[in-house]
């Protein structure tokens, strides 16, 4: 078993690698405040900040900030909500 990366190393990991490492990173975001970036096997504990699994982060990467804020508001309001897909709407 390889050693888990430190935080600085984890920041540079591809999401596909991060997804399988059982890591929890607390991130302070100017966009949405304090959140957790977690591997795909993460199980939330009561009182944890809103968590984004690696596969959810991949869905949010190229979205407008307004959409990310709205998504975060939904995840904050509805415990257990998950981002399953994103798609740009045609004008």
pLDDT of residue 73: 92
pLDDT of residue 63: 85
Per-residue b or e along 25-44, where b marks 16 or more CB atoms closer than 10 Å to that residue's CB: eeeeeeebeebbbbbeebee
Residue of 60 and 6 predicted with greater confidence: 60
Please give the order of strands across the beta sheet that includes 33-38. 24-29, 33-38, 51-53
Residue of 22 and 88 predicted with greater confidence: 22
pTM: 0.78
Backbone angles phi, psi at 53, to 5 degrees: -75, 160
């Amino acid at each position: 078993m390889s050693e888990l990366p430190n935080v600085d190393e984890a920041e540079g990991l591809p999401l596909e690698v991060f997804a399988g490492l059982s890591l929890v990173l607390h991130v302070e975001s100017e966009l949405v405040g304090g959140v957790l970036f977690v591997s795909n096997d993460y199980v939330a504990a009561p009182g944890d900040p809103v968590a984004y699994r690696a596969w959810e982060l991949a869905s949010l990467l190229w979205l407008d900030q307004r959409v990310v804020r709205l998504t975060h508001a939904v995840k904050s309001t509805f415990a257990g909500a998950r981002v399953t897909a994103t798609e740009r709407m045609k004008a």
